[in-house]
Amino acid sequence: MQDDYFTLMQKLAPDLAQQIERRALVLERIDALQPVGRRLLATRLNLPEREVRTVAALLKEHGLVSLDAAGMCVTPDAEKILPAARRFSRELRGLTGLETALSGKLGVSKVYVAPGDYDQDSHVLHEVARIAASRLRSFLQSGSTLAVTGGSTIHEVALALNQSTPMNVMVVPARGGMGRSLETQANTVASEIAKRLGGHHRFMHLPDHLDEQALTELKKLREVTETLDLLQRADVVLHGIGRADDMAQKRMLPQAVQAEVKRKGAVAEAYGCYFDLQGHMVYSASSLAHNLGALKPHCAMLAVAAGSRKAEAIMAVMRSRPHAMLVTDEGAARTILGRDL
């Protein structure tokens, strides 16, 4: 019935539908960026400042937006209607249809698409992270073990989690330590997510890549064995997805390895593994994560990735093993749907 309503509105009053969609979009962006000035908001929405000023004035008149020297913010009344406004905006922009089509093409039962393209607007990642954070709890229950990778995307998901009723969950890093920003390391992200969920966490006191002999020796340490055992028994795995070429350089793989990975057709990287377009793993840069969740046949894999440049990478990782959820953006979704399987 709701789908019929939106279709009818678009056919009978397309101008009215566009106005409502525009107002809902402006309200959403104010909520995401608040406090925000009209000029900055216009830039983020790629709209004329005059149009944003007009819409903002109408929202203020209806008591949905407040304005002070710092910029615009949503009011408590706006917060009550924001979920419905988001649904309305999504329907009118065709995002629900995109989700259904992408779910069928990739074989993932739960797909969520944020508006925009991260490659064109970096703020799109905030909405992708918000959606992922809002859905994460539905996969967890008391006693669950959640494994999380690092990276900027999963770090954003961690920051988007609302602190509410504490959950008795254990959060463990799915990667070891790597020579990069501390705030996006798996250990740091696991700690942040555990804090916001009200659960517990364990650190991975290991570098991400070890030879078998070193790993065997370190497994003799109780704190190492405990975390590795928890990782292998993970009920849920939350991970990001990267392009193989970008991640090979970012992780500073040896040139010979980069050349070999490229020769084998790698297009994607996830939790330390490199995959070709058919989803076959061609290389593992992590001695800890390449068998992630292997001991739990029903382990729920949750992927979060944004940007049209990652379309092939997303397709490859979705083919590598069954996933319970994918959160992405409009740019990636439309690019994937435009590709042949």
User: How many CB atoms sit inside 10 A of residue 113's CB?
Assistant: 30
Q: Which tops the pLDDT comparison, 43 or 289?
A: 43
Of 124, 190, 202, 123, nearest to 161 by C-alpha is: 190
Reduced to 3 states (helix: H, G, I; strand: E, B; else coil), residue 31 is helix
What is the residue whose two structure tokens read 């608040």?
Answer: 34
Q: How far apart are CA 64 and CA 245, in angstroms?
A: 45
Q: What angle do CA 19, 20, 24 make, to 5 degrees?
A: 120
Indicate the pTM of the whole model.
0.82
Q: How far apart are CA 259 and CA 190, in angstroms?
A: 32
May I ask the CATH architecture of the domain 95-337? 3-Layer(aba) Sandwich (3.40)
The per-residue DSSP string of 140-164 comes to --TT-EEEE--SHHHHHHHHHPPP-
Q: How far apart are CA 321 and CA 315, in angstroms?
A: 11
Instruction: Write down the pLDDT at residue 132.
Output: 97
The Cα diameter of the chain in Å comes to: 71
Domain ranges within the chain, ordered by starting residue: 2-93, 95-337
CATH class, domain 2-93, is: mainly alpha
Q: Place 44 in a pLDDT band, splitting at 50, 70 and 90.
A: confident
Q: How far apart are CA 132 and CA 189, in angstroms?
A: 15
Identify how many contiguous H helices and E strands the chain contains and give both numbers: 15, 13
134-192 tens-digit pLDDT: 999 999 999 999 999 989 999 999 999 988 889 999 999 887 655 556 677 888 999 99
Q: What angle do CA 286, 287, 292 make, to 5 degrees?
A: 80
What is the residue whose two structure tokens read 């309200």?
Answer: 27
Of 106, 97, 307, 138, nearest to 238 by C-alpha is: 138
Q: Which two tokens stand for residue 79?
A: 């917060």
**C-alpha R_g of the chain:** 21
Q: Place 233 in a pLDDT band, splitting at 50, 70 and 90.
A: confident
